[in-house]
Amino acid sequence: MQGDTGRKTSRTIKVMDVHVRPGHRSQGYLVAGPLVLRCALGKGGVSSRKREGDGATPLTQMRLLYGYRRQTPVIGDQPATALRFRATQLQDGWCDAANDRNYNRPVAATYKRSHEKMWRKDELYDICVVMDWNITERKKGCGSAIFFHLSRETYTPTEGCIALSRRDMMRLLPHLSGDTVIRVRRG
How many C-beta atoms lie closer than 10 Å to residue 41's C-beta? 29
- pLDDT for residue 21: 96
> If we measure between CA atoms, which residue out of 16, 50, 18, 68 comes closest to residue 160?
50
- pLDDT for residue 186: 87
- pLDDT for residue 10: 56
pLDDT per residue, tens digit, the chain (187 aa), is 334 444 444 589 999 999 999 999 999 999 999 999 999 999 999 999 999 999 999 999 999 999 999 986 665 556 689 999 999 999 999 999 999 999 999 999 899 999 999 999 999 999 999 999 999 999 999 999 999 999 999 999 999 999 999 999 999 999 999 999 999 998 7
- pLDDT for residue 69: 94
Whole-model pTM: value is 0.91
Beta-carbon-side half-sphere exposure of residue 8 (alpha carbons within 13 Å): 1
Beta-carbon-side half-sphere exposure of residue 58 (alpha carbons within 13 Å): 22
- DSSP character at residue 175: G
Amino acid present at 3: G
> If we measure between CA atoms, which residue out of 68, 128, 117 comes closest to residue 91?
117
